[in-house]
Amino acid sequence: MNLVVQKFGGTSVKDAERIFNVARIITETYQKGNNVVAVVSAQGDTTDDLIAKAEEINPNASKREMDVLLTTGEQISMSLLAMAIEKMGFPVISLTGWQAGFLSDSTHGAARIRRINKERIDHELTKRNIVIVAGFQAINRYDDLTTLGRGGSDTSAVALAAVLHADLCQIFTDVDGVYTADPRFVKTARKMDEITYDEMLELASLGAGVLHNRSVEMAKKYNVNLEVLSSLTKNPGTKIKEVVKLEKMLVRGVARDNDVVRISIVGVPDQPGFAFKIFSQLAAKKVNVDIILQSIGRDGTKDISFTVSRSHKDLAVSLMEEINDRLGGKGILCDENISKVSIVGAGMQTNPGVASKMFEALAEANINIQMISTSEIKISVLVALADSDKAVNAIHDAFDL
């Protein structure tokens, strides 16, 4: 008997009609002779509404109490979905994260899964129950509720698939797979039948919102058979796997990320160890840095620029101002009107001319490149925020995706 883990996002369970649609998907899978474990997110905008309610009461609420509040969103979804499946006449049980055995570290708001005690789920499956699990949540060693951060339900589903040795993990969303670019902005975007873990990981990290990068990392590590598909259609999805069929495409997809800010510390002393002083401070405060550019020194000074997410802007600027004052820099610049546009493809590393073609497409569209970052399978550039749509379309057309 096969075991299938299915994850449903907030839009898939946003109202009663959608919940019964999800219940039908689950029960159809069950009726084919499979054991089914379903992981659900909070309905629609529930998490945002809960955050707004908290801010009405205490804008500076502790992260522990925010986790207690936010875990209720997934619990509502799991119980309503279980009720729908009950009404359809199937055996079902809903479990919170801690009932399902999720144990995490104690980083409230962005906890990491330490282990999953799967005995309860195994017990329910032996009784042929459909198991509905609240995603995004766990408990720590003090028995306090924790949440797993952005994309936490994806991570919950893949983690369960790994520990239960599931035959398939399906991530149901409101799109029917992974596209060569965001179809909302690029009308010619094409759905891919399959993509490698590495390519999907880069796309997820670079702004493609279909899957969270932590879940892809885990799927790759434990070789989880992963598929992204729509809960609203019966179309085949996109398979994510270690090796895919050879294709002519050197570039698999184009992504953009508007959640980015560039910070520059100008005129700092051109001395060994200065970069360490900057980035060790950022690391100590858990500020994730992406693209980094250091200028050639002039007159004994240099400029260092880097990008962070918008949520880390104020903290990063504050740290840089402190360093600037202490070490004698000439000032701090912060630019929020930028976007990171990237291409991804495993075939790029063995084929010259890919970067040139990308830059040519941007030049012909009269788009200025502000910073560049490369790896074996991706090239990212910073462009003006106003040019991001045009840039994605120009690159997508240039590579005939």
pLDDT on residue 151: 80
The CATH number of the domain holding residue 91 is 3.40.1160.10
Segments of the chain with pLDDT less than 50: 246
For residue 183, what are its two tokens? 């179809």
- 20-to-81, 138, 228, 244 alpha-carbon distances in Å: 7, 26, 20, 35
For 88-229, where are the alpha helices, taking DSSP H only? 119-126, 152-163, 197-205, 213-221
User: Is residue 381, in this structure, part of any structural domain at all?
Assistant: no
pLDDT on residue 132: 98
pLDDT on residue 2: 93
3-state helix, strand, coil in the chain (%, to 5): 40, 25, 35
User: Is residue 98, in this structure, part of any structural domain at all?
Assistant: yes
- pTM, two decimal places: 0.79
User: Is residue 114, in this structure, part of any structural domain at all?
Assistant: yes
Rounded CA separation 124/235 (Å): 31
Rounded CA separation 83/71 (Å): 19
User: Is residue 258, in this structure, part of any structural domain at all?
Assistant: no
User: Is residue 198, in this structure, part of any structural domain at all?
Assistant: no
pLDDT on residue 244: 59
The residues pairing with 306 across neighbouring beta strands, listed in sequence order, are: 263, 292
User: Is residue 355, in this structure, part of any structural domain at all?
Assistant: no
pLDDT on residue 79: 97
For residue 303, what are its two tokens? 């400029």
How many structural domains is the chain composed of? 1
pLDDT on residue 281: 86
Q: What is the pLDDT of residues 235-260, one digit of tens each?
A: 888 999 876 554 555 788 888 888 89
User: Is residue 232, in this structure, part of any structural domain at all?
Assistant: no
Q: What is the pLDDT of residues 366-391, one digit of tens each?
A: 999 988 888 778 888 999 999 988 99
At residue 121, the 3 state secondary structure works out as helix
Per DSSP (E only), the strands in 220-296 are 226-230, 238-241, 253-257, 261-269, 292-294
User: Is residue 382, in this structure, part of any structural domain at all?
Assistant: no
The range of the structural domain enclosing residue 105 comes to 3-174
